[in-house]
Amino acid sequence: MTADRDGSPSTTEADGAEDGLAEAFRAVTRRLRRRTGEALAPWDVTPGQSRALGVLLRHGALRLSTLAEHLRIAPRSATEVVDDLEARGLVRRRPDPADRRATLVTPTEEGIRAGAAIRAARRAAAEELFGGLAPADREQLARILRTLRD
């Protein structure tokens, strides 16, 4: 280990540590994405479609613009996601009784069943990945990730 005159790690070492941390984070993210994709395969939905269905299951009928806000995507992208879910029979559009110009998106019965199964599959994929961590490590990791997210 090399150090600068003041005893702190050299810039090269600090950069290397940061690069190592970032690469480890990316590797874990790739692994989680891959496992999630495998878990979603039986329903032929993308992770984005799965997230949209999950939001609708948690919040009930939503306008497309509100769904887009929850997903942090552009309204046009939300329209495409809903189009795909609607084609699969997992959601339906209906007029908003509070504003006839607006449309609400709501899960169908099949969407509710599929959404519950997808949620369980995603949970199992995450448990498979994080299950080897001690409970205290999982809590600490969750706290760190929430801090980075917020």
| Residue extents of the structural domains in the chain | 11-149
- The arrangement of strands across the sheet holding 62-63 comes to 62-63, 99-107, 91-96
What is the arithmetic mean of pLDDT over 21-33? 92
- Whether 130 and 138 have beta carbons less than 8 Å apart is answered as yes
- Give pLDDT tens digits for 61-108: 999 999 999 999 999 999 999 999 999 999 999 999 999 888 999 999
Grade residue 19 by pLDDT with cuts at 50, 70 and 90.
confident
* The CATH number of domain 11-149, selected from 3.90.650.10, 2.60.40.3710, 1.20.1300.10, 1.10.10.10: 1.10.10.10
Give the Cα separation of 89 and 82 in Å (integer): 10
pTM for this structure?
0.76
Q: Cα separation of 94 and 47, whole Å?
A: 24
Pairing of strands 99-107, 62-63: antiparallel
Closest CA to 126 of 45, 32, 47, 51: 32
Please name the residue ranges forming H helices in 11-134: 11-40, 47-59, 64-71, 75-87, 109-130
